[in-house]
Amino acid sequence: MCQSVFLKSTLKDKFQKITEGTSQHGNSTFLNEIYTELYITEGGSGEVNNEHETRQIETASRRPATQEKPIKCNDIFKDNSIRTVLTKGVAGIGKTVSVQKFIRRAEGKANHDILFMFPLPFRELNLMKEKKLSLVELLQIFFSDMDKLKLRDYYDYKVMFILDGLDECRLPLDFRKNENLSDVTQSASVDVLLTNLIKGNLLPSALLWITTRPAAANQIPPECVDQVTEVRGFSDPQKEEYFRKRISDQNLAEKIIMHMKSSRSLYIMCHIPVFCWIAATVLERMLGEAESGEIPKTLTQMFTHFLIFQIKHKDQKYHGKCDTDLKQTRKIILALGKLAFQQLEKGNLIFYEEDLRECGIDVREVSVYSGVCTQIFREEFGLHMGKVFSFVHLSVQEFLAALYAFLSFISNKRNVLVTGFYGFFRKSTIFDFLKTAVDKALQRENGHLELFLRFLLGLSLESNQTLLQGLLTQTGSSSQSKEATARYIKEKIWENPSTETTINLFHCLNELNDHFLVKEVQTYLNKGDSSDLCRAKLSPVQWSAVAFVMLNSEEDLDEFDLRKYGLLDEDLLRLLPVVKTSRKAVLASCKLTTVSCEKLVSVLQSVNSSLKELDLSNNDLQDSGVELLSAGLKSSCCKLETLRLSGCMVTDKGCSSLVSALKSNPSHLRELDLTYNYPGESGLKLLSDLLEDSHCALEKLHVDHGEKIWIKPGGLKKYACDLTLDPNTVNRRLSLSERNKKVDFVARDQGYREHEDRFQCWEQVLSVESLTGRGYWEVQWIGKEVEISVSYKGISREGRESDCRFGYNDHSWSLYCFDDRYTVLHNKQKTHLPYQPLIFDRVGVYLDWESGTLSFYRVSPKTHTLTHLHTFTTTFTEPLYFGVGLNYVGSFAHLCELD
């Protein structure tokens, strides 16, 4: 027991300080002073995400927090049945800091039952690759006082191993081939020791915590892991908390927070603690007294300032001088840049001494670059060990790589992005060079080089080059090359509907200071009315801009309702990143076809998708579309919980593909809506068997109204209902004709007999038929102010406007058709739709009583295509009646015949 006290106090000394951003050479800070609680979630799949980390950062920052299950760092071992926890998280997100905090807290109240804690970072274990030793000997090397520990202590007390940084592991970890080992005193390679510890052959009752970047998570067999957690970095409030803790001058902290919030791309990156540290380092000086100049707004500017700060810091600290030896600094930065670039191309984040030497780096110089490069050198091990290097964060590596590529081009006309002889081409312009970079980044589908490209484009701006004066012996760029590059990027956005790539291209335009496209669509979006978007007939590039703006807006993307946007099948692809980021996507009645299903499959199959609820109702998807969707549902990445395919022309064939998909991925989908289709008896049987299946999570299955008529094409027209106007309700100044399908405003009293249902004051009429299911009808209207409405029967027939006028009470919902605009109205709440109708127009009304939706569409007279005007969403409590109100002589409304 007293040994445990000793061990804990050793750890306490070791872990009470952290060196922010770096390891031993920077300024260390007390952990408690800067530690900000991180957002950690429970669950998460063991799936490997092949996307580059920058993309994962962006996706994670957009994911609505509501669907995650947060867990406190201290609680990850709370459940006694858990032996091994695997914690994932991108670079710099705070895994190592969480480990440090956990150890610190374990000295206090939390997890006090754990008596021995052994932190074994993989980057240090790597250095023992060649050794053969027992687990006990290994621990003695890491913790020099362990020899006092008795063998039985390992079994008698609760012991915990923390294996930090699996992604840095250079050991093969061959779980299949490595021999089994259960004796802690038996010698083997470190690799064998670790696989046996992880499998539970060695010290089966010991707890194990493994941390890793996401790409390496699959090295551990899933059966060895009891719980997966994910460090998600700082949430928005935590970002602010960090700056308030980190910056002691609270006024300055507020200024910094305000500035970060003013730039979306910077604010998104603040999700990563190490980026907050970089931003705090730069902004503390820029916004404080120490420096002046333009405050960095783009990533390139931020990183440029960070580099400048590091250079000055180095010279002051290590050479005791304020003047920088530019020639020397330039040489070092170029060498570091070369290392960054070469290793980035190879996909390496960790390097060894020989890699550095190859780039002409003096290992002693590197240690001075505390903020830029970290290193580990554990001389006290007494073993023959090498050094391991990495950049503080992948983004810093990408920045230096871009700087190197840019400097090589400007100084030597050498395009390092092109290998061999072609890299030297004296006549090539800066535009040619940047063009190759765009092309190269676009070739990498997983997002590798995206951040690199952003930095490269940023560095091509003269304003950023000015910041780096001294490091650059020459500058190079012109407004023409900037414009040509921006044009080229826009062409690529046009050609490249592929979602995430396009989003990065918008970030690139931002780095180039070209905001034209974004501002253009922002004006539509800011007006707050999406019918403007319908009217504007956006080009594909503009649709991509809409996606970019939505993803970067501060609003929560919890629900994405595509009905509002009136876009076509081919444009859906451009908005897929938004669908993927939303929790719920409503794509009902959007005229989608099989073509769209093909695209949606990619969302369902994506590890990053946040989508839990997908409503595709009332699109003519047919069995072929459903079969495609099933391929997505089958994927183990698909976590969809609710799928609505009501009125999608599905037969037994479609049902069978759905059922087989849900059999192979049974754990997520809980609700399936197949109403208004034709599953037939065989389809129904398959579906109800699935509902009974205890392996399948499906709880709610809706299959009502299964009839053959629902599989005829025609979109909403298949719900056509034959309505007539009720002579007993019609106001005396209205005249009915054409078998009570048409109503005209006539100023004269028509002398109708008294009836209790007749509207007395307002010129209105209701239909004979009541509506409770689904219904669709179209109304042709002429006039100055025509009201197309639905209402409960109980609406008052006399009295004030608020009692009986359509839309002015909670009994009725109405579309007011004026000659210059449409307005929707319910309970006196008005919404103007800036759509310009004509004096003569046709409106489609779709009611889904059960789901509580009432939609109005404008029907084009020639093509009969529908343009969405507005959807009311509510809960209807009584049957509804169609109603018309007219206000001026000469106006009429006519219920159209639908074929």
**Site residues (vs ligand ATP, CB under 6 A):** 18, 20-21, 34-36, 38, 89, 91-97, 165, 213, 242, 273-274, 277
Task: State which residue, 233 or 844, has the beta carbon closest to ligand ATP.
Answer: 233
375-397 burial string, b = 16+ CB within 10 Å, else e?
bbbbeeeeeebebbbbbbbbbbb
- 227-231 vs 207-212, strand pairing mode: unpaired
Q: How far is the CB of 100 from ligand ATP (least distance, A)?
A: 8
Rounded Cα distance, 534 and 66, in Å: 31
DSSP 495-508: H---HHHHHHHHHH
- 822-826 vs 812-818, strand pairing mode: antiparallel
User: Which residues make Cβ contacts (< 8 Å) with residue 382, sequence separation at least 6?
Assistant: none
Task: State which residue, 21 or 679, has the beta carbon closest to ligand ATP.
Answer: 21
Q: How far is the CB of 317 from ligand ATP (least distance, A)?
A: 18
CB 265 within 8 A of CB 552: yes
Task: State which residue, 92 or 577, has the beta carbon closest to ligand ATP.
Answer: 92
- Which residues are 892's β-sheet partners? 744, 782
Residue 263 φ then ψ, to 5°: -120, 115
Task: State which residue, 35 or 455, has the beta carbon closest to ligand ATP.
Answer: 35
Task: State which residue, 283 or 585, has the beta carbon closest to ligand ATP.
Answer: 283
Q: How far is the CB of 101 from ligand ATP (least distance, A)?
A: 7
Helices (H), 1-144: 2-15, 31-34, 53-62, 95-107, 122-125, 135-142
Q: How far is the CB of 29 from ligand ATP (least distance, A)?
A: 8
Task: State which residue, 166 or 730, has the beta carbon closest to ligand ATP.
Answer: 166
Rounded Cα distance, 123 and 349, in Å: 12
Q: How far is the CB of 608 from ligand ATP (least distance, A)?
A: 19
Rounded Cα distance, 393 and 407, in Å: 21
- 388-391 vs 188-189, strand pairing mode: unpaired
Q: How far is the CB of 446 from ligand ATP (least distance, A)?
A: 18
Task: State which residue, 24 or 682, has the beta carbon closest to ligand ATP.
Answer: 24
Q: How far is the CB of 160 from ligand ATP (least distance, A)?
A: 18
Task: State which residue, 89 or 296, has the beta carbon closest to ligand ATP.
Answer: 89
DSSP 121-174: -HHHHGGGTT-EE-HHHHHHHHSGGGGGS-TTHHHHS-EEEEE--GGG--S---
Place of tokens 């230096």: 400
Q: How far is the CB of 168 from ligand ATP (least distance, A)?
A: 7
Task: State which residue, 235 or 823, has the beta carbon closest to ligand ATP.
Answer: 235
Q: How far is the CB of 582 from ligand ATP (least distance, A)?
A: 27
Q: How far is the CB of 57 from ligand ATP (least distance, A)?
A: 12
Task: State which residue, 97 or 711, has the beta carbon closest to ligand ATP.
Answer: 97
Q: How far is the CB of 189 from ligand ATP (least distance, A)?
A: 24
Residue 780 is classified by DSSP as E
Residue 860 is classified by DSSP as -
Tokens of 406: 């840019």
Task: State which residue, 390 or 596, has the beta carbon closest to ligand ATP.
Answer: 390
Q: Is 810 helix (H, G, I), strand (E, B) or coil?
A: coil
- Taking residue 747's Cβ as centre, other Cβ atoms within 10 Å add up to 9
Q: How far is the CB of 93 from ligand ATP (least distance, A)?
A: 4
Q: How far is the CB of 671 from ligand ATP (least distance, A)?
A: 37
Helices (H), 374-461: 394-412, 430-443, 450-459
Q: How far is the CB of 529 from ligand ATP (least distance, A)?
A: 42
Quote the radius of gyration of the chain (alpha carbons, Å). Answer: 33
Task: State which residue, 94 or 844, has the beta carbon closest to ligand ATP.
Answer: 94
Task: State which residue, 324 or 370, has the beta carbon closest to ligand ATP.
Answer: 370
Tokens of 33: 């002073």
Q: How far is the CB of 447 from ligand ATP (least distance, A)?
A: 17
Task: State which residue, 7 or 97, has the beta carbon closest to ligand ATP.
Answer: 97
Q: Which residue is nearest to ligand ATP (CB)?
A: 94
Q: Which residue pairs from 556-562 have beta carbons closer than 8 angstroms and sit at least 24 positions apart in sequence?
A: 556/64, 557/62, 557/64, 557/581, 557/582, 557/583, 558/64, 558/66, 558/582, 558/583, 558/584, 559/583, 559/584, 559/585, 559/586, 560/584, 560/585, 560/586, 561/586, 561/871, 562/586, 562/587, 562/590
Rounded Cα distance, 423 and 191, in Å: 42
Task: State which residue, 28 or 67, has the beta carbon closest to ligand ATP.
Answer: 28
Q: How far is the CB of 165 from ligand ATP (least distance, A)?
A: 5
Of the candidates 202, 173, 203, the residue with the CA atom closest to the CA atom of residue 189: 173
Task: State which residue, 272 or 538, has the beta carbon closest to ligand ATP.
Answer: 272
CB 265 within 8 A of CB 301: no
H-helix or E-strand spanning residue 352: strand 351-352
CA dihedral 275, 280, 281, 286 (to 10 degrees): 130
User: Which residues make Cβ contacts (< 8 Å) with residue 122, sequence separation at least 6?
Assistant: 163, 164, 165, 166, 167, 168, 169, 170, 171
Of the candidates 797, 763, 776, 783, the residue with the CA atom closest to the CA atom of residue 846: 776
